[in-house]
A and B are shown apart, each in its own frame.
Chain A
Amino acid sequence: MNGERFTSSPHPTLPPHLVSTSCNARHPPDGIGDTARDVTDQQLVARCLAGDRSAERALYDAHVDRVFRLAFRLAGDADLAQDFTQETFIRAFDRLTQYRGDASLATWLHTIATSVSLNGMRSVTRLRSRSAPMDELAELPSRHTPVAPHDLRERLHAAIDGLSAKLRPVFVMHDVEGYTHDEIGTALGIPVGTSKARLFDARAKLRAALALFAGDTIS
């Protein structure tokens, strides 16, 4: 599957297009030296637990980009993504004593990030559904507004938005952000097989949504 696409990546958990934003490629802005950047997860966690604030910042710098990217992909809103990212790191620092090193720190963080983002989105969706009647009145289609986007890209984005709460995170994490099924399984708390099945379903639904349109446009 797609996990094999990333075997050439210097970072074992990141796809090539994300490696440039990973911890090893970035100098932390507060002047942390190479030694700090090269420390292992365990050492970084140990230093954080000892109250080393520069280590906390180093941990944050190492992972914030990917956490923020995932949060934004799931939320589609800058403010929400920032809230979810902040909440993720606040929780992570609070629960750092619970990190046992069984999985990589990145996996552990992304599990928290996924949980925070999906729960947050659930609340946001609930709130939006309460105010939906007014919004819908304001956005009733008129003769001048197109019923569906004519651009394949927009059509696809709308179709991804329309995926169920179970399928969308898997599709976004795998096909958009390049997570492996192992990582998705850990982050969402589902078996790898379930992750693969959901991706299969998501792609099938998207294909169905785009098939006619794509046939007309692309050919």
Chain B
Amino acid sequence: MNDHELDDQMRHLAQSYNEPPATPRDAMWERIERARRGAPVVAIGTSRRWRWLRAGAGIAAALMLGIGIGRLSRGPGAATSALTVASSAHPQTGETAAVQPVMVAANGSETPNEGLATASLASTAQDTDATNPVRATRAERLRALSEQRRAASPGLAAYGVPRGPQGAVGEGSEMSAYRLAVVDHMARTEVLLTSFLVESRNSPNATRAAQFASLSRDLLKTTRLLLATRSTDDPALTRLLEDLELVLMQISQYTSEGRRGDLDAINQSLDRRNVLPKLRSTIPAGAAASTGI
């Protein structure tokens, strides 16, 4: 048998190679239609990234809106505003509308443990004092309490609680928005830093490192935005935000394949600057939960 004959024989016999059965047209078409109707699959990493981006955009939008409203509604002689952490519901009295200023102490001598602490602004109540006698009384009480506390612990450095030159407690919706943005941002940053520390102790993971870097970049943008838009001169808050900027920048450039020294530098920054304790003392209880973390 020569090559030609063998080729012909091969071609003939090859027709039965993996001989296909009848095409299951309808079954396949059903599955194709089902697949095409189905929702597109989104990669988890992408979804998470977009969620953080949306959150960042939301914070920025709230910040800008608050500043805008504040600028519009602010009177010419208004005192420089300051923020306060206030409870929205007092556990004993059940006053849901009560505004209870609590200064968050840096040295831990006072903590926002009087009821559920949420970010609020005493001046919100103050703005309506003229028309509401109950609120007027309450506002006076607030001011008195605030003065009393300030006198009792003059050395308090309220992280994240910018204080005006006269020590006035939160006035103006501009500061309310700013305060909300700061608390929300710090809650997110604290979650990120804690997660990063835990993960960095485990074996390095390139995917995780990339996710942390991406989230850090988002938070870094917000940190810089907060630094750039702060309207009161609070050195403690400025210092904390600058520390955060440094740490977040380090994490954003960290890769799992990188030098061990990079991770040590991040840990040193966190330790030397006492970033996490400062953050935790700044964030009022329940703020993390309210941010959806």
Residues of A within 8 A of B (CB): 29, 57, 60-61, 64-65, 68-69, 72-76, 78, 81-82, 85-86, 89-90, 93-94, 152-153, 156-157, 160, 171-172, 175-176, 203, 206-207, 210-211, 214-215, 218-219
Contacts and interface: CB of A to CB of B under 8 A. Distances in A.
B15 interface: yes
B10 A203 contact: yes
Given A152-B13, A207-B7, A211-B6, A72 B18 contact: yes
Interface in B227-281: none
A202 to B, nearest CB: 10
Nearest to A71: B20
Contact of A203 (B1, B7, B20, B27): B7
17 contacts: A60-B29, A68-B28, A72-B21, A73-B17, A81-B20, A90-B36, A153-B16, A156-B10, A156-B13, A160-B17, A172-B17, A175-B10, A176-B17, A207-B6, A207-B7, A214-B1, A218-B1
B148 interface: no
A153 B18 contact: no
Contacts of A85: 23, 28
Contacts of B17: 73, 156-157, 160, 172, 176
Contacts of A94: 36
A31 to B, nearest CB: 14
> How extensive is the interface on chain B, given as a class?
20 to 34
B261 to A, nearest CB: 38
A181 to B, nearest CB: 15
Nearest to B16: A153
B151 to A, nearest CB: 70
B9, B13, B27, most chain A CB atoms within 10 A: B13
B6 A82 contact: no
A85 to B, nearest CB: 6
Interface majority SS on B: helix, strand, loop or mixed?
A: helix
B25 interface: yes
Contacts of B21: 72, 78
A210 B18 contact: no
A interface SS class: helix
Contact of A215 (B1, B18, B35): B1
A60 B6 contact: no
Interface in B1-58: 1, 3, 6-7, 9-11, 13-18, 20-21, 23-29, 31-32, 35-36
Given A64-B29, A82-B31, A207-B7, 11 more contacts: A60-B32, A72-B20, A73-B20, A85-B28, A86-B31, A90-B32, A152-B13, A153-B16, A157-B16, A206-B10, A214-B9
Contacts of A74: 18
A76 B18 contact: yes
Given A203-B10, A207-B6, A64 B18 contact: no
Contacts of B3: 207
* Smallest CB-CB A-B distances: 6 pairs: A72-B20, A76-B18, A68-B23, A73-B18, A69-B20, A153-B13
A215 B1 CA distance: 7
Nearest to A76: B18
A29 B9 CA distance: 38
A116 B119 CA distance: 56
Contacts of B27: 82
A64 B18 CA distance: 17
A78 B20 CA distance: 8
A71 to B, nearest CB: 8
Contact of B35 (A29, A64, A73, A86): A86
Contacts of B28: 64, 68, 82, 85-86, 89
A86 B18 CA distance: 19
A207 B7 CA distance: 8
A81 B24 CA distance: 10
A76 B1 CA distance: 30
Contacts of A214: 1, 6, 9
B6 A175 contact: no
A169 to B, nearest CB: 12
